[in-house]
Every structure is written in C-alpha cells, then in structure tokens.
A and B are shown apart, each in its own frame.
Chain A
Amino acid sequence: MHHPLQNSPLSRWHRTTVRGAAAAILALSVQSCVVSRSVTNPAIPAESVAQILPGQSTADDVARLLGAPNEVVQLGRKTAWRYEHTVEKQSGLFLVLLGLRGVDTQADRVWVFFDEEDNVSHIGSLLQAAEAEYDLPVF
C-alpha cells in the first residue's frame, strides 16, 4: 500500500532536506576547528614604561602613566607594584578520534619597586604579549 504523498513534490523536498541536514551534521562532526583569542587587562605601552626612571619617578608618576596596578606587594616599608597584560591564542583541529590543540600565552609584565618615600628604586619589564601565536602541534 502506498502513501498518497509518497511521490509528491512535498515528500521529495522533505527527504532531500532531511538528507542534506544529516550530511551537514555528519560533516560537522567529522571535522571542526576552533580559533580563539583572549586578552586580560589593557596593553602596557612601551613608551610609558620608558618614562619611569629609577631615582626620579614617584608613585604618582607611575600611577599617572600606567594606572592602578594589578597587585601591590608590601616589602617592609617598601612596596612593589605589578602591571600585567596577557594575550592567549588558542587553535584546535578536531577530527573523529583525534584532536590537536595549541595554546600560547604571552604577557606584558612590569614590576616597579618603590623605596620608603614612594620613589621608584627599580623597574623590571618584559613586553612579550605581541609574540603570542596560533600554533597547532605537529608530530
């Protein structure tokens, strides 16, 4: 016994749509990839860091140039301020049984050390956030 709509255009369209959706789902499940980038805190301008001079700059100068620090460490009567900007780039390729994933995290980081009078005594910086890469592992 045949269904009255079995060979109708509507039925053919329905079958085609279902097959297409199934093929799309299958294709998506077989292989997919992901690329993402996440950033923590604003970038630290190198020219601002260059203006911080031990023996000359004060805590007010540093706050005006770089803003509020991410961390303050008390060292007796002295202090140290940390500024950090992080960039993480992640890429992944996912097959049926195997996933390849690469994560690269790099940072701009500055530590400013102050004496008892809140004058800058030392500064250390590493500006490497721009070197973060999308990089899949290879065998």
Chain B
Amino acid sequence: MTCRSSKAGARPGLTARVALLLGSVSLVSCVDGDYNKFRIYQEPLMEAVDSLKPGVTDLESALEQLGAPLFVIEVGLGMSLAWGWQNTTDWNIEVSVPVGDAAGNFQYADTSAQIQGIVLFFDESWTMTSMQKGFLADLVPKRQRPRDVDDDLSGPTVP
C-alpha cells in the first residue's frame, strides 16, 4: 500500500515546507525561557560613599556611613573592607532540537550576575588609604594566612 499526498512529480510549496519545518521543530524540540530578577543586599547611598576621603576617613566613620561590610580581610599591616550588592534582571533561553541520533542545544543567557561593590583599604592605624569600585570578584584581595603577631608594630610588644 502506498500513500501519496501530492500529485506525482509535484513539489510542495515554500509555505508548506516552512510550515512543515516549524511544525516538526515545535513538536520534537524543547524551548524554555527564564526571566529572572535577583536582589542581593542593598547598594549604599552614593552620598555616603562620596563622603569617604582617603587619608581622612577612619574606620569609625566608614562603618557609620556604610554599616557592616560583607568582608573584612587582613592586608599587610592593615585591612580591607568590602561592601557588595546585586540588583539585576536577566534572560535565559534554551532550545534543544534532536538532530539525527544527536541532540542539538542552543542557549542564550543575558546575565550580569555579578555582585557590584566597593572595597576600602585601611592602613595599620585604620585610616582609609584608598577606595575601589567595580565587580566585587575583581576587587577583593585574596585571603592569606594571618600575619605573625610580632609583625604588628602598632600593638604592645611581648615581654
């Protein structure tokens, strides 16, 4: 038994072929999209950030202006304090289409899922020496083993 859907020798039109292709793809593929919103912590007031001055601002005023930091990391004889936040929306679209025995997969992600932040550096007297802004992952110094307490020149000497 044979089954013919068109006249012998005739080819289906372009519209029919496109419809057939789209129909096939939609039936056998998987399209999935996500629209996400992330809010992690909160950005400090810019007026508070702008009020911080290297060489002038001490730890007390920095904590008063910005509140508790995310991280405190020892840096040399001083330290760095980091504040971070994220407030973003992003798209994530994934299309999976079987191609023969294999599976084709396409993914589009419009994401800026990085925490922005401010890092303040303090010297051994806990006076601010510099400020950096940007993505926190790029700014935060790597944690190291704590220094030897004998290196702490600002502290009392051990008898």
Contact = CB atoms under 8 A, between A and B. Distances in A.
Interface residues on B, range: 35 or more
Interface string B44-76: 000000000000000110111011111011100
Contact of B35 (A54, A82, A100, A123): A100
B136 interface: no
A82 B63 CA distance: 13
A124 B69 contact: yes
A124 B63 contact: yes
B72 A106 contact: no
Contacts of B133: none
A75 B154 CA distance: 11
Interface residues on A, range: 35 or more
Identify the interface centre among A73, A125, A139: most chain B CB within 10 Å of its CB: A73
A103 interface: yes
Interface in A80-133: 80, 82, 97-107, 109-111, 113, 116, 122-126, 128, 131
Contact of A124 (B68, B79, B89): B68
A77 B149 contact: yes
A110 B66 CA distance: 12
Classify the secondary structure of B's interface with A: mixed
Interface string A51-93: 0001000000000000000000111111010100000000000
Interface stretch (B7-15, B16-24, B26-34, B97-105): B26-34
Nearest to A106: B41
B152 A76 contact: yes
A125 B68 contact: yes
B72 A111 contact: yes
Contact of A104 (B39, B77, B89, B155): B39
Contacts of A100: 34-36
A136 interface: yes
Contacts of B64: 124
B36 A137 contact: yes
Closest 4 pairs (CB-CB, A-B): A76-B152, A124-B63, A137-B37, A77-B155
Interface of B: 31-42, 59-60, 62-64, 66-70, 72-74, 77, 79, 89, 124, 126, 146-147, 149, 151-152, 154-156
Given A77-B155, A97-B31, A109-B67, 6 more contacts: A75-B74, A98-B33, A102-B36, A122-B59, A124-B63, A135-B39
